[in-house]
Amino acid sequence: MTKYLLSLLLLALVFPLRAQETPAPDTAKTEAKEEKKKSPFKDYDKVITKDAVTTEGLFKTHLVGEKYYFEVPFSRLDRDMLLVSRIAKIPANLGGGYVNAGSKTNEQLVHWSRMNNAIHLKSISYSNVADAELPIFLSVQDNNYAPLIMAFKIEAFNPDSTAAVIEVSELFTTDVPAISGLSNQVRTTYKVRNLDKARSFISRMASYPENVEVRHDMTFVATEPPSNSRTGTISLQMAQSLYLLPETPMQPRLHDPRVGWFTIRQIDYGSEALKADQKTYLRRWRLEPKDPAAYARGELVEPVKPIVYYLDPATPEKFRPYFRQGIEDWQEAFKAAGFKNAIIAKDAPTPEEDPDWSPEDARFSTVRYVASETRNAVGPSVSDPRSGEIIESDIIWYHNHLRSYRNRYLLETGAANPSARTLNTPDEEIGEMMRRVISHEIGHALGLPHNMKASYAYPVDSLRSASFTQKWGLATTIMDYTRYNYVAQPGDTGVRWVRMLGPYDIYAINWGYRVIPDASSPAAEKATLNAWVREKNGDPVYLFGGTNSFDPSSQTESVGDDPIKASTYALANLKIVAPNLAKWTATAGEDYSDLEELYRELLGVWSRFAGHVTTNVGGVYEKLKTTDEAGYTYTPTDRAEQKKSVAFLNQHFFTTPEWLLQDEVTRNIGPSGVVTEIRSLQERQLNNLLRMDRLTRLIEQEALYGRTVAYPLTEMLGDVRRGIWSELTPGKDIDAFRRNLQRSHVMRLAQLLKEDAAKRTDVSAAVRAELLNIQAAANAATARYGSGMVRNHLRDIVALVQETLEVE
């Protein structure tokens, strides 16, 4: 054995070079190669090649060939982000014309998180919350498990392994409900079958410091599309905006329904209340004083970060001053809250000044001027669902909205305002209207909803006063739909025609934005906020009321505190406009299309004025209160006012509107259609007057307050019948307009019987009695009319009532 070992040693010494030529295998390198073969991840440069088109910001985005990638930093995982879905381009008539380009279809808080070799996109809800330190926090998490929107395979890691590369093409080219532009209702309406992936694609993707923007076109196969029916498709472009939310949420402010505000809601399971406590917070910008000490002393100070709106470079030069004014009009309101220069208008920088500036960058809020036939303007904003902090906002002005305001200006003020009697409204007057529309939309973007009670604070006759209207405007807030002064009569010189900001705006901005220095929580602010409301208690100037169907003091498009008086003045003005409409809209060498458009809108204005009066019937005034305030929240409209309202409708709306039947109009806009259109409008208001909820309120008011205080249902129905069928007793001629209305009356009563069939309330009893009264009166009057259409009409009415009662 010893000899054998010595021999081996000698061989090693003699042949050392041979041993170097055949080295032992490198185990580490072999293992690395084998590991690389097993790895599910590719090399970064194999995925993101040198041909990639890259943008840098919140995430890096890459376009490689036809594939789109996100490079998700691990530092961004599980961070709160907001994903907002909007329709960027829309087919004609989608949603019946009530959906516009820019309409938001979804807004959700999301998290990007890693699960093994994949990145998950989850929709996170802050609707149900609890303090993380409380035991119930665990239950809130377990009972609000976040749904997964999509999972993405990790393709590679960036060179320093701080980010994962995922392909996101599928998220935007497949039918993902969470970001789709078509709701289930829309899909049903147009019989949408599926998304055609071959005709769906990403058109743009870009990253900015605080957001990522994606535009993607989607084509759906539909049996009954809203337009271009031969194509059998609905195509739209979606805009997806992903925002990084602040790491530390802003301190929320509790909502008070007595001050109008857009809000967010959360259910707080950690509350001491003996229930799941709903907390409602304001949606508002984060305004903090640069100099807190000076602010606390009551001095005006600038905010750390002012609200800045940039004007779209596409805005016509002549309208830019009005847009700037519309934005900066709110500076006065913010001064009441202790801030100067709180909101500023700026021109967008030119490409030479800032080549990286983009209106899609979430750091910049803009007023966009959109070349579109849409007649609208909108003031949306994006807010943090954790706190209500508004992150950014884009006001949209659609070009054709100019047409809406020109037309309304002519129709509603032309009788007393000579400069409105033209299709070429002077630039300074159109500019003033645009300014006020922008102010209104900015108000929405600041957090303020419509306040339809604001116009009711001013007496109707005060709107005929130059000194009053020039100082106080037409309503207490720009947030009401009090667009024009349609009350002022010919000879009322110097009055204000167009709305403006008012005292309620200043009050609301102070209430929502003033910093309360010593309050370190929403609960700590509550006493001060309540005291500010109580200071104004009882003053109609500072009341808030949204649109509803029952309150005569909260109506859209109305002015003044008396709907009957305001509509009486308004009709007097329309009776001046109607015979002059052909002259005021005539343009040499042009056809009558403008006249037709204005006439159709004139009919709509006439109907709207009637609707303001209709709301008095079965009306209930709503005045929001807290339990420590005296008085009642709901008060029924006075009986005499209700009865007077029905008389007004019978006199001014349910009669034949001969003043609307101008030969210069009806014989130039078409061979037929006016009779049908007037029937439609009269029928709409009659159906509104005889709406089931209104009739039910009349029954309840009589039950609670008695016949001497309330306007009984039977009395109201009888008053309507006597007005609509007034020709029968003296045997007067019944023209085509009245015959149409009478048929509509019987058909509406028949419909009410159907609606009430299951419950069989007092409505059925009262309606049946009315049908029998009509049948008897029509039957008795038939003989007085001899032969002809009126006799045929009455016989038809008798038969129609009989059929209704037999079926019922």
Q: What is the pLDDT of residues 450-474, one digit of tens each?
A: 999 999 999 999 999 999 999 999 9
How high is the pLDDT of residue 167?
A: 96
User: What's the Cα-to-Cα distance from 45 to each of 48, 156, 165, 294, rounded to whole Å?
Assistant: 5, 9, 11, 56
CB 574 within 8 A of CB 620: no
CB 599 within 8 A of CB 669: yes
275: Cβ contacts below 8 Å, ≥ 6 apart? none
How high is the pLDDT of residue 273?
A: 56
How high is the pLDDT of residue 22?
A: 44
CB 497 within 8 A of CB 523: no
Q: Higher pLDDT residue, 10 or 687?
A: 687
Average of per-residue pLDDT across 277-291: 92
CA 198 to chain centre: 33
How high is the pLDDT of residue 5?
A: 42
Average of per-residue pLDDT across 265-291: 77
Q: Domain map of the chain by residue range? A: 2-38, 46-244, 585-808
Is residue 501 classed as helix, strand or coil in its secondary structure? coil
Backbone angles phi, psi at 493, to 5 degrees: -80, 150
In DSSP notation, 418-454 reads GGGSSSS--HHHHHHHHHHHHHHHHHHHHT----TTG
Q: Higher pLDDT residue, 356 or 115?
A: 115
What sign does the CA torsion over 104, 499, 448, 303 have? positive
Residue pLDDT, tens place only, 501-525? 999 999 999 999 999 988 999 999 9
CB 416 within 8 A of CB 488: yes
Kindly indicate the confidence band of residue 279, based on its pLDDT and cuts at 50, 70 and 90: confident
Neighbours of 273 (CB within 10 A): 8
CA distance 748 to 767: 10
- pLDDT above 70: residue 24: no
How high is the pLDDT of residue 56?
A: 94
How high is the pLDDT of residue 538?
A: 83
Per the listing, tokens 């902090």 go with 389
Is residue 85 classed as helix, strand or coil in its secondary structure? strand
CA 807 to chain centre: 42
SS (H, E, C) 611-645: HHHHCCCCCEEECCCCCCCCCCCEEECCHHHHHHH
- pLDDT above 80: residue 557: yes
Kindly indicate the confidence band of residue 17, based on its pLDDT and cuts at 50, 70 and 90: very low
Neighbours of 623 (CB within 10 A): 19
CB 26 within 8 A of CB 141: no
- pLDDT above 80: residue 390: yes
Residue pLDDT, tens place only, 720-776? 999 999 999 888 999 999 999 999 999 999 999 999 999 999 999 999 999 999 999
Residue pLDDT, tens place only, 672-699? 899 999 999 999 999 999 999 999 999 9
| DSSP bridge partners of 121 | 112, 150
Residue pLDDT, tens place only, 473-492? 999 999 999 999 999 999 99
Residue pLDDT, tens place only, 558-602? 999 999 999 999 999 999 999 999 999 999 999 999 999 999 999
CB 460 within 8 A of CB 566: yes
Average of per-residue pLDDT across 8-18: 42
How high is the pLDDT of residue 549?
A: 87
CA distance 232 to 753: 41
Kindly indicate the confidence band of residue 124, based on its pLDDT and cuts at 50, 70 and 90: confident
| DSSP bridge partners of 118 | 115, 153
CA distance 626 to 366: 39
Kindly indicate the confidence band of residue 229, based on its pLDDT and cuts at 50, 70 and 90: confident
CB 362 within 8 A of CB 212: no
Kindly indicate the confidence band of residue 21, based on its pLDDT and cuts at 50, 70 and 90: very low
Average pLDDT of the chain, as a whole number: 89
CA distance 27 to 232: 64
Contacts of 289-294 spanning 24+ positions with Cβ under 8 A? 289/338, 289/339, 289/515, 292/515, 292/517
How high is the pLDDT of residue 131?
A: 54
How high is the pLDDT of residue 18?
A: 41
Contacts of 730-734 spanning 24+ positions with Cβ under 8 A? 731/781, 731/784, 731/785, 733/790, 734/790, 734/793
Is residue 785 classed as helix, strand or coil in its secondary structure? helix
CA 330 to chain centre: 21
CA 690 to chain centre: 28
Angle at 162 between CA 160 and CA 167, to 5 degrees: 105
Is residue 543 classed as helix, strand or coil in its secondary structure? coil
How high is the pLDDT of residue 90?
A: 80
How high is the pLDDT of residue 86?
A: 87
Q: Higher pLDDT residue, 264 or 708?
A: 264
- Choice among 130-144, 253-267, 693-707 with the minimum mean pLDDT: 130-144
How high is the pLDDT of residue 396?
A: 86
Average of per-residue pLDDT across 413-430: 95
- How many residues are given for the chain? 808
How high is the pLDDT of residue 40?
A: 85
Q: What is the pTM assigned to this prediction?
A: 0.86
- pLDDT above 50: residue 20: no
How high is the pLDDT of residue 15?
A: 43
CA 446 to chain centre: 14
- pLDDT above 80: residue 375: no
How high is the pLDDT of residue 501?
A: 97
| Percent of the residues in the chain that have a pLDDT greater than 90, as a whole number | 73
Neighbours of 571 (CB within 10 A): 19
How high is the pLDDT of residue 270?
A: 52
Residue pLDDT, tens place only, 230-258? 888 999 999 999 999 999 999 999 999 99
How high is the pLDDT of residue 8?
A: 43
How high is the pLDDT of residue 731?
A: 82
| DSSP bridge partners of 115 | 118
